[in-house]
Amino acid sequence: MAIQFSKIKALFLDLDGVVWHGADPIGDLSAIFRKIAKMDVLPLIGTNNATKTPEAYCEKFAGFGVNSMKPEYIFSPAIGAASLFREKYPADVKIHVVGSDALRAYLRNAGFALVPDGADIVLASLDRELTYDKIAVAQRQILNGAEFYATNRDPILLSEDGIKPGGGVIVNAIETCSGIAPTVIGKPEPYLIRAAMHAFGLTNGEILAIGDRYDTDILGGLNAGCPTALVLSGVETRESIAKFDREPDLICADLNEAIDRLYAGKIA
């Protein structure tokens, strides 16, 4: 089905491989985001990275001359987890986090009780200070009946200094020793994009999901029923996506081309 460009009111943008490679912007971000603003399209962000706060992302955007980014535009699994836990559990639910300080701070600020042990929920994410003990503590709580969640299962992370292990590695370790598969909050599951729709009163046909990875970004968009655009500035190539059944609606060299095609589609 062709995208109905006139309907698009928001983007759901992945970051690494789409907007930047670590510290390097992909294209003239200031110009690209001015074009997005000119179309009156919201630049919402859907990232599986829960190690940075929304404010830290806004600062990074500002460093590239993009001043239109707002903390409320950013949907990470931290935000997705908070909205899902609020919906599913009583207010005094106890959460144990294996993850970053930023993730912990976000949940604490959202009003959740974080505990070192005896939790109702174990939430696993990228933890750059992972230890054997941390895995053992998570394992014990899950075996004692805590529900197991993961921010994402990304196998790798493209960081400032190259390819690194992603959050999925930590999740897999806990899954292996507990024998329990987690409920995943990040892409390709639909929780983040649904949280964005809910927050901005959008329907799935009004959001264009843009990403560089098929099995998270594009599949996440498809799972939510949104039109999708794959950019070839990150991990995928035309050859690497040939194995997937459903093609993205658009395949573009980079974000700049995706935005130009959206613009051309809107004025057509």
- By the criterion CB under 5 A, which residues form the site for Mg ion? 14, 16-17, 212
Nearer to Mg ion, 166 or 190 (CB): 166
Q: Residue number with the shortest CB distance to Mg ion?
A: 17
What is the four-CA torsion angle of 130, 122, 180, 88, rounded to 10 degrees?
Answer: -150
* Residue 69 CB, nearest approach to Mg ion (Å): 17
* Residue 189 CB, nearest approach to Mg ion (Å): 16
* Residue 109 CB, nearest approach to Mg ion (Å): 26
Nearer to Mg ion, 129 or 237 (CB): 237
* Residue 156 CB, nearest approach to Mg ion (Å): 10
* Residue 221 CB, nearest approach to Mg ion (Å): 13
* Residue 267 CB, nearest approach to Mg ion (Å): 29
Note whether 113 and 43 are within 8 A (CB).
no
Distance CA 228, CA 210 (A): 6
- The single-letter code of the amino acid at 89 is Y
Nearer to Mg ion, 159 or 204 (CB): 159
Nearer to Mg ion, 14 or 249 (CB): 14
Nearer to Mg ion, 146 or 171 (CB): 171
Question: Could you tell me the two tokens for 231?
Answer: 């950019």
* Residue 51 CB, nearest approach to Mg ion (Å): 14
Nearer to Mg ion, 22 or 118 (CB): 22
Identify the bridge partners of residue 10 per DSSP, sorted by sequence position: 42, 207
Nearer to Mg ion, 17 or 248 (CB): 17
